[in-house]
Amino acid sequence: MRTQEPRVSSQGRRRSKV
């Protein structure tokens, strides 16, 4: 488990660092 992980939920693979 990381603290700064790319949010991959509804966007899928678009944002790198949220």
What pLDDT score was predicted for residue 8? 64
Q: Which residue has the higher pLDDT, 4 or 16?
A: 4
- C-alpha to C-alpha distance for 14 and 6, rounded to whole angstroms: 9
Confidence grade of residue 15 (pLDDT, cut at 50, 70, 90): low
Triad 8, 13, 6: Cα angle to 5°: 45
Burial class of residue 5, CB neighbours in 10 A (0-12, 13-18, 19+) = exposed
How confident is the model over 2-14, as pLDDT tens digits? 677 766 666 666 6
What pLDDT score was predicted for residue 13? 63
In 1-18, DSSP assigns E strands to none
What pLDDT score was predicted for residue 4? 73
